[in-house]
Amino acid sequence: MTTTKRTSRSTRARALLCIPALALQLSCTGLLHGPGDDDAAGGDDGAGGGGGGLTPVDCTELGPPMLRRLTAVQLRNSLVAVFQGDQSVPDGDVLVDPVVNGFRVDATEAVIRDLDSQKLMTYAESVADWAVTQKLGQLVTCDQSDPACRRQFVQDFGARVRRQPLPDEAVDAYAALFDQEASFADGARAVIATMLQSPYFVYRREIGEPDPDRPGENRLTPYELASNLSYMLTDRPPDDQLMTAAREGRLSTTDDLAREAERLLATPESAETLSRFVRGWLKTDDLETRAKDDPTNQLTPEVRTAMLGETDALFVDLVRSGGGVKELLTAPYTFLNQTLAAYYQLGGVGGDGFQRVDIPAGTRALGVLGHGSVLTRHALSDSSSPVQRGKLVRERFLCEEMPPPPPNVNPMLGDPNGAVTTRQRYEQHTTDPACFSCHRRMDLIGFAFEHFDGFGRYRDQEGGVAIDSTGKMVDRPEGDVPLDGVASVASYLADSQEVQTCLVRYMSYYSYGLDGCNQQEILDDAAASGSTIKSVVLGIIRAPQFSHRAAR
């Protein structure tokens, strides 16, 4: 995307931060304070590093030519690909991905600086040592005693590292490096170590060449487009098929790109990338490591992993089967393995693999808001959290900004006399105007989730008191929306155009690594295809911002 007027982006984002609150006459102090707790009433995750929502920016223009540093995952996957699928390539703590908006894809913040070159050098050297010791025979297909073999090695290995053929001058430079060494092994070691430190390896290039059909614009080269597509959809370098398409000129139209995108979306690799998106979007990424004090000890590591797997599977299934946000929020089926089915007390599923299961009436809430991953992550260590669940809805589905609590407010809720249920404790917010001005926007939504405890389990009562899951979504364009239960929240969101727009924004940010654009053309493009999630992905790929850059 690259289309943002990026010099003004943050300023604009900051200015817009206040608008909803001011427009609503809220006294949400601390608006400009930056990150704080997800849950002012008991503490949560400190939400730092840009944990909030996205603010729309103007992206009607094409962005400039740019470089995009590989993420840590992409670096790892790229190395495995360079070594022809060998997973035993040494690991290393080399690149660090700043977490922005819940994702690790930010194109602006990811840089190489300070000691990073040293880290990269020592890592590249260790990989080169490994490769020469373990794999030289496989990496070199020619006769090592033949002088031409050195150049051949540089070309073959270099093309995998750079994700495109090397120009002659680069081959010359690396061949010269090779020739400085006495033995073939030492030469190969020097070439490998250097290539893995090369900016042509650690950055993806989006530079392009002048487009004769669009004066003033660069069209990305076929190899750049292949990388763009592949890293965006699979976090991996282009596979052989994509490289062949690039080489043979079959990536020249938006239909070509869409065709390849459809193909990649069907691969297991894309499921990993789509899962990374849904975990970042719903902020469930750290579910496996969050502290949880389940008195029943049922929330095992296996259950947590299965919870994430359920959400991954539903999202991936919907992308592939042509589902949309509506289905994500209201699907009458889900994906369970034995562990999670037992945890949900549904039974009927065996094995570790996930199977599609229709949700029996009167059990789990339908859709992703009823998933254990979402309910357990957006909760406290020992109880549910109406604040966090309401905040999730506001920020991640409606793209509204929720400020952190102001300073010097004790977020520990007291224990009001007679309070038995979580709801009763949180209703304390409603009696304190200083809290309620903001918390009404979150807690009253979160109350609708109260049939699910902090571990994602269904409950009819808490402490002997029947659950009251009524609530409301205040300050909506149509006024206050009455709620009762998760299904009411899901059903309201499922029909909301705002949610569709919000998803486009998050997907667009995830795809481009730049602050989300509310691109009407992507929405329109998607709407023409039934507003499916896949149509949003394809809309992003068809947009000129994907294939073009402003000429420098």
Q: Which is nearer to another protein, 44 or 443 (CB)?
A: 44
CA angle 31, 32, 33 (to 5 degrees): 95
Cα separation, 128 vs 259, whole angstroms: 37
Q: Which of 21, 28, 47, 536 binds another protein (CB under 8 A)?
A: 47
Binding-residue total with another protein (CB under 8 A) = 92
Cα separation, 279 vs 285, whole angstroms: 5
Binding segment (CB under 8 A) for another protein, from list 174-182, 248-256, 438-446, 463-471: 174-182
Hey, which residues between 490 and 529 contact another protein (CB under 8 A)? 515
Residue 444 in contact with residue 423, Cβ under 8 Å? Answer: no
Question: Tokens 């984002």 label which residue?
Answer: 13
The DSSP H or E segment spanning 217 is: strand 217-219
Closest contact distance (angstroms) between CB of 149 and another protein is 20
Q: Which is nearer to another protein, 148 or 291 (CB)?
A: 291
Closest contact distance (angstroms) between CB of 535 and another protein is 27
Hey, which residues between 276 and 295 contact another protein (CB under 8 A)? 286, 289-291, 293
Q: Tell me the per-residue interface mask from 183 to 222 with another protein, x by CB under 8 A, - otherwise.
A: -------x--xx--xxxx--x-x-x---------------
Closest contact distance (angstroms) between CB of 200 and another protein is 6
Closest contact distance (angstroms) between CB of 219 and another protein is 14
Closest contact distance (angstroms) between CB of 175 and another protein is 11
Of 279, 289, 285, nearest to 311 (Cα)? 279
- Token pair of 400, please? 């509204």
For the chain, report the end-to-end CA distance as a whole number of angstroms: 16
Neighbours of 85 (CB within 10 A): 8
Q: Which is nearer to another protein, 117 or 138 (CB)?
A: 117
Closest contact distance (angstroms) between CB of 267 and another protein is 26
Tell me what percent of the chain is helix, strand and coil, each rounded to the nearest 5. Answer: 50, 10, 40
Q: Tell me the per-residue interface mask from 384 to 423 with another protein, x by CB under 8 A, - otherwise.
A: -----------------x-xxx-xxxxxx-----------
Q: Tell me the per-residue interface mask from 350 to 389 with another protein, x by CB under 8 A, - otherwise.
A: ------------------------------xxx-------
DSSP 42-94: T---TTTTT-S----B---SPPPPEEEEPPHHHHHHHHHHHTTT-TTSPP---
Closest contact distance (angstroms) between CB of 428 and another protein is 16
Q: Tell me the per-residue interface mask from 112 to 131 with another protein, x by CB under 8 A, - otherwise.
A: xxxxxxxx-xxx-xx-----
**Rule CB under 8 A: is residue 36 a binding residue for another protein?**
yes
**DSSP conformation class of 452:** B
Q: Tell me the per-residue interface mask from 80 to 109 with another protein, x by CB under 8 A, - otherwise.
A: ------------xxx-xxxxxx------xx
Closest contact distance (angstroms) between CB of 295 and another protein is 13
Cα separation, 484 vs 421, whole angstroms: 17
Q: Which is nearer to another protein, 450 or 515 (CB)?
A: 515
Q: Tell me the per-residue interface mask from 296 to 335 with another protein, x by CB under 8 A, - otherwise.
A: ----------------------------------------
Hey, which residues between 52 and 81 contact another protein (CB under 8 A)? 52-55, 64-67, 69
**Rule CB under 8 A: is residue 133 a binding residue for another protein?**
no
Closest contact distance (angstroms) between CB of 118 and another protein is 5
Closest contact distance (angstroms) between CB of 469 and another protein is 25
Question: Tokens 């260790």 label which residue?
Answer: 126
HSE, side-chain direction, 13 A CA sphere, residue 68: 26
Question: Tokens 């031409």 label which residue?
Answer: 148
Q: How far is CA 209 from CA 6, 107, 539, in A?
A: 22, 21, 23
Residue 215, C-beta contacts closer than 8 angstroms, at least 6 positions apart? none
Residue 351 in contact with residue 338, Cβ under 8 Å? Answer: yes
Neighbours of 7 (CB within 10 A): 7
**Rule CB under 8 A: is residue 34 a binding residue for another protein?**
yes
Binding segment (CB under 8 A) for another protein, from list 49-57, 233-241, 248-256, 347-355: 49-57
Closest contact distance (angstroms) between CB of 382 and another protein is 7
Q: 530-552 in b/e burial notation, b at 16+ Cβ within 10 A?
A: ebbbbbbbbbbbbbebbbbbebe
- Report the DSSP beta bridge partners of residue 466: 461
Q: Which is nearer to another protein, 488 or 547 (CB)?
A: 547
Q: Which of 19, 22, 48, 138 binds another protein (CB under 8 A)?
A: 48
Closest contact distance (angstroms) between CB of 54 and another protein is 7
